[in-house]
Amino acid sequence: MKRLAVVFLAAVAACGGTESIDTTTSNLENRADRGQPEPPMAGIHWARGQAKAHGGGSPDLLYHGGPVLTQQSGGAAAVTPIFWGTGWSSDGQNKKGWVDTFYKGMSSSSYESTNTEYTQSGGAHVGTSFSVNAGLTDLSAAPRNGNKTGPILAEVCKMIPTPVANGYYPVYTDLPRGHAGFCAWHSAGTCNGVSVQFAFFFDLDGDPGCDPESPATSYSQGVAALANVSGHELSEALTDPHLNAWYDANGAENSDKCAWTFGAQLLTFTNRSQWKVQGNWSNSGYDGNRGYSDPAKGFVRGCVDGTN
């Protein structure tokens, strides 16, 4: 996601104490509202029509020296979904089950492999798979909006007493997006002295601004919307986990550059589940004049989804 120039300090309860968390992101996005306070988050996955245009220079991602999530025992990342909010006391759409199915199927899939060309210092690539742990539910009230990273990081630290450095903790709330211009975001912070990756998601039921318009009929529109933005955020967490690895001259990460473009109408994952998910930017694809053809936009050079 496009990163914002922010420094935030969050007080996080951990092991009975309070831990200060200082996260800095680079000044990489030229925003029209530069004079106004920036929302304290690493970046955002804009809703349809909300992203600000950037121009000029090479479109390829640039390496900024930070790590990627490389292959370890169990995979490149350890994904543990967190479901936060009083609304999760019931789950008539089986969103929790479908989120689990999505992540398990994405691991080792052709879609996940669109991230693996990116490397860190020393040449290690993004891993080809990741592990998925059982989701956790917190029925306390979630914050009223998703404009701050601090409360989301605090929730991760509360729910994950023993985090791991390759952990990715997506937090799914019961909050509708309302007038916010974004669907989700990802960031990085520290829990108990361990660096972690985490993300925030609105409830996207009936939200046309965050709807991929999936033709799938096995699950609800809200599930389909969460799946698309989940693929976006995890792809960025794999290739830019600490917000200092791969992004272009304007601060756009690999999924930002292909947001709201789609190749195959449905991607088939390793567990045979099918999802409409946007592609990811490939430097090698762009340089080799590869990309998919979006029915609405035509040929999208540089965007790949594992089928092209």
**Could you read off the pLDDT tens digit of each residue along the chain, which spans 308 residues?**
555 433 332 322 223 332 333 333 333 233 222 233 223 365 578 776 766 655 556 899 999 999 999 998 788 999 999 999 999 999 999 999 999 999 999 999 999 999 999 999 999 999 999 999 999 999 999 998 898 999 999 999 999 999 999 999 999 999 999 999 999 999 999 999 999 999 999 999 999 999 999 999 999 999 999 999 999 999 999 999 999 999 999 999 999 999 999 999 999 999 999 999 999 999 999 999 999 999 999 999 999 999 99
124 contacts 177 by C-beta, under 8 angstroms: no
| Overall number of domains in the chain | 1
Q: Is residue 289 part of a domain?
A: no
CB-based burial label for 199 (10 Å; 0-12, 13-18, 19+): buried
Q: Is residue 239 part of a domain?
A: yes
Q: Is residue 230 part of a domain?
A: yes
Q: Is residue 285 part of a domain?
A: no
Q: Is residue 166 part of a domain?
A: yes
By residue range, what is the domain housing residue 148? 2-260
**Structure pTM?**
0.87
Q: Is residue 80 part of a domain?
A: yes
Q: Is residue 271 part of a domain?
A: no
Q: Is residue 251 part of a domain?
A: yes
